[in-house]
Structure formats: structure tokens, C-alpha cells
Amino acid sequence: MNPRVSIVKVKADRIEEAARQAVSLAGGLEKAIRSDTKVLIKPNLCRPAPSGSGHVTDCRVTEAITRMVLELGPSSVVIGEGAAAGYDFAGSHSTEEAFRVSGVEEVARRLGVKTRNLNRDEVVEVKVEQPYCMDKVKIARTALESDFIISLPVMKTHIRTLISLSLKNMKGVLPGEEKRKTHRLGLDMGIADLNSVVKPDFAVVDALVALEGWWKDPEDRVEMGILIAGSDPVAVDAVGAYLMDFDPKQIMHLQYVARRQGSTTDWDQIEILGESIAAQRRSFKSALEVFKERYPGISIILGESACTGCICEMIGALTHVKEAGFGEAMEGLKVIVGDPPEREVTSGKTLLFGKCAKRLAGIGPYLPGCPPAEEEALKAICQLSCVDANEVISSRDRMRHQIWQATKANLEA
């Protein structure tokens, strides 16, 4: 029997109505959730960001799905997440802050369910059978002990995996160091190994507002206005890829998981209900395409071990320098992230970024850390580019204050 995936257009902002229709068309939850079922609802709250930004799952989608689950009377319901690498250090933006800023904390309070920071959960080390790259993996106990997991990703592109949907969303059940391990050993293979141990039983993709490119507001927002649902996460992610105008065969973690569990990513072998792919498809730019457009004079060389922790801190620093008015000063800059082959590395105006690039130290200034702090990256870039770092930091802080004031006003409203 072909996997079933629904695509539903949200009309007049009636998100719960669309969510119910999407889940129903995809087969529903009634047969799977019983009175003794422990349910984990896993949104993407990789960083503190407001709902509707495209960075995180919209709390209205999380609320709609949680309501539907509660109506079935399960044993327990937990909304769980562990923020991304780079947001999980002591003193950094915490998962709890992501719950609060996104509105999920208020949703949980109103519905009477628990939220759980999976980065701080008790972990269990699990053996991976026939692994691609990880023979053992540490996973949050809450995820392992759940009987039914619903993945609620937001539709996004990604610098390392091309797309980020329901399978990649499961990285939130890994504690911080395990997230970094998947990058060091091979991110796509790591995602596949993770999903062989703990994978979604159902997925609902928030494609109300999607993000392409480098996730910069508002340039990279894509208004889709749809929800995608299904009980086969491989099929759901394949449909998501088609809707973003990417070929699922280019998405390696999708192919690894499909191969392991005998699933399909072929359009003509998936039963699609509701809206058609052709009617809702948008042509997304990849992260690399957008970077080249915005920073034509800068070269970024990524090794296999390059992770989003380093990449995000580095991109943040580059963005602050450019937005302070010093884009031209960075012309000719090369940034090495991870541990690329030496044949791809040349000396010159070159910055070695992060712990994994240490082997190449000597080619240019080396910035240690896992990941290096954004401010240290900013200072190193400014020094290489002969720019006053204090001026860039002042510009950055003014912008952050403006964003925080706007976010605070939205939350209070």
C-alpha cells in the first residue's frame, strides 16, 4: 500500500480546521492513540524566535495538534524539544526561552500539558543496529519512553542537508554533545541512524511561513500557507522536498532512511490527498545559492565535520559586519569551517573557524571553540578586513535592541 500524504491549504487563518483536515486525510490518529499511550509532541524550537517567523514551528499548529491528541485521552502528553547546538550551553539562549518566545509555553499552560527541555532530560545510550556512522547514540529518556511521537517541523532549507523537515527535526531529542557528534561523523548519516532508533510515528509540517536560504528576515520568508501530514515521515519529507522544488534523491538522509526501512521518495508511489503538489509548489533557493548572492566576494569552505553551530555563528558575524556597512571590506575573505581536504584550502585572507579546523591552523588566524562565540568571530573578521570591531558591535547591539522591543511588543499584544 502506498504511503498517504495530505496537503491542505489554510484558509482565512483557520489553522486548527486545516490541521484537523490534514490529519484526517492522512489517516487520522484515532487507531494509534489509546488510553495507555504516552505521546511526545516534538515541534522545531531550535532557537528563541516568535511564531510566524518561519524559524520555529508556529505555536498555533502545535496547539491544534495537541488539542487533537488530548481529545483521544492518552496516558500522557509532553511537548518536548532540545534547542540546537549553539543554543544549548549554560548561559546561552535556552530551550525554555524558545518555549516562551514562540508562545508554546502559553499553549502548554492553557491546555494543561507539560513542556520538557530535552537537552536537560536524562539520557539513555542506545545501540544502533547496522549503523551508517554511529554505533551508539544518547537519546533523551522522554523520547525513548514515548509510545507515539508526532514531529512538527517548520519547512526550511538547510546549509548541510538541503532541507529540514520531520526526520531532521528529531535531532532535538539528542543532548547537545550528541548533536555535535552527528556533524562530526556525517550529518545525513547521523540523522538516519537517529531515526532508526527513535523516529516519528506521525508528522505534520508547518508550511504556513517557510524559510529559504540563510534564514534572514524578511528576505528569506516564503509564504506557503499550507500544512503537510502523514504517518510515513519519509514520504512526508519527500512531498515537502517536491513542494520546495528539490529532488528528494539529492537529500541524503532521506535516501538513507528510505533505504533502511523500505520506504519510497518517488512522487508517483505516494498517494497525495488534498491540494496537488503542482498547485502549491514554490521554487526555493538553497542556502548556498543565497549565500553566494549576498556575499559574492567571500568564500566559505565547509569540511564534512562543519556543523550548524559553527556555521550559524559565522554567518551571524558576517551579517553584522555587512549590515554595519562594511561589506566591501570583506572582499576576498575565506572562511574555513570543519576539516576540508587540504587541496581545497589556500592561504591569504583566511580565517580558520572552530575546533574542527585546528589541523589547518597556520594557514591563517585560528578561532577555537565548538562553536566559537559570535562576538569573537566578529572581531576576527573585522581584524582581517581592517574594520573597527567596536563600530560593528555597536551597530549589532542597536539592531538587537530594536528586534527585542518589537518581539516584546508582539508578545504583550
In this prediction, residues 105-127 reach a mean pLDDT of 96
Residue 32: pLDDT band by 50, 70, 90 thresholds? Answer: very high
Residue 409: pLDDT band by 50, 70, 90 thresholds? Answer: low
Q: How many CA atoms lie within 13 A of 170 on its CB side?
A: 32
Task: For 153-203, give the DSSP string.
Answer: PEEEEETTTEEE-HHHHGGGGS-HHHHHHHHHH-HHHHHHHHHHHS--SEE
pTM for the model stands at: 0.82
User: What DSSP designation does 73 have?
Assistant: -
Q: What is the pLDDT of residue 358?
A: 87
124 has pLDDT over 60? yes
At the topology level of CATH, where does 4-280 sit? Rossmann fold (3.40.50)
The segment(s) of the chain belonging to CATH 3.40.50.11440 are 4-280
Percent of the chain clearing pLDDT 90 (strictly above) = 63
Q: What is the pLDDT of residue 87?
A: 67
By CB atoms closer than 10 A (0-12, 13-18, 19+), residue 336 is buried
- Which residues, at least 6 apart from 127, have a Cβ–Cβ distance to it below 8 Å? 135, 136
Number of Cβ within a 10 Å radius of residue 113: 18
- Which residues, at least 6 apart from 262, have a Cβ–Cβ distance to it below 8 Å? none
Pick the residue with more confidence: 92 or 72?
A: 72
Query: Which CATH number is associated with domain 295-410?
Result: 3.40.50
Dist. CA 176–CA 227, nearest whole Å? 29
In this prediction, residues 373-400 reach a mean pLDDT of 88
- Using DSSP's 3-state secondary structure scheme, residue 345 falls into coil
User: pLDDT tens digits for 303-347?
Assistant: 877 766 677 678 778 888 998 999 999 999 988 888 887 766 666
Chain centre to alpha carbon of residue 208? 16
- Using DSSP's 3-state secondary structure scheme, residue 145 falls into coil
CB 331 within 8 A of CB 315: no
State the cell numbers at 136: 551508539
State the cell numbers at 270: 505516494
Residue 410: pLDDT band by 50, 70, 90 thresholds? Answer: low
User: pLDDT tens digits for 257-301?
Assistant: 999 988 999 989 999 999 999 999 999 998 878 888 888 889 888
